[in-house]
Structure 1
């Protein structure tokens, strides 16, 4: 498992920035938040995913481990998602109640890029909960 410093270093290199201030400004977080993440070795998945999505950076390049195992892959032909080598198939939401149905209908209206963005945000939340 990677630590905060490894991932932040990769992100800074990819964005061609040197200072923490430039990075936490791009992430739209305060210095104290960034410092707390560093102290706790907490990887800010949501912010990384959002920044990579906005800057069109491949998340694999940032979150990839030393063995170069792809963390997140997408088959552009059919929108299949694979996380840590496990195929999660296409993004499907099967709603049984009104809220789930509304969410499903809203997701259908999004572009493929936005669907991927929200999918990765959800996956990041799940990783943080582990």
Structure 2
């Protein structure tokens, strides 16, 4: 089977929601001349692409063959996000909610700008109510740092819905565990 260089590169650009091939070159840690050489020779850089798939948890079936679609990929991203959030922190959700209520995350140009403002966020009014401390804030920052570009974009774009869904799922999960304790 012959792969088309342009199709593969365009699928990576689309799924990572990056602007152009130069940005992809930075992610791949190769020069634009190298990318141009690959394109001219229609050489597929399998190793580099598989590393991107692994790093960003992308479907190699989608990247190489176009199997699946962006909606399915977005569902996988949402599932990974939910799993990360629910597995990693509960009290942090409360602080995350407070931070997003007080600042407009969409107005930030980068993840780093948002992290700086979270570092400055005053937790004194919430820590008495929710037992939140500096470690809680550091956990949120670590969570944001760990997000892939598409996961971060989703959290920022849909921050209100994201938090609402997570809270509903958390409440449902808590009910299940409570029922389990009552019945035993």
TM-score, with length taken from structure 1: 0.48
**Normalized per residue, which structure has more strand?**
1
Which has the greater radius of gyration? 2
**Normalized per residue, which structure has more helix?**
2
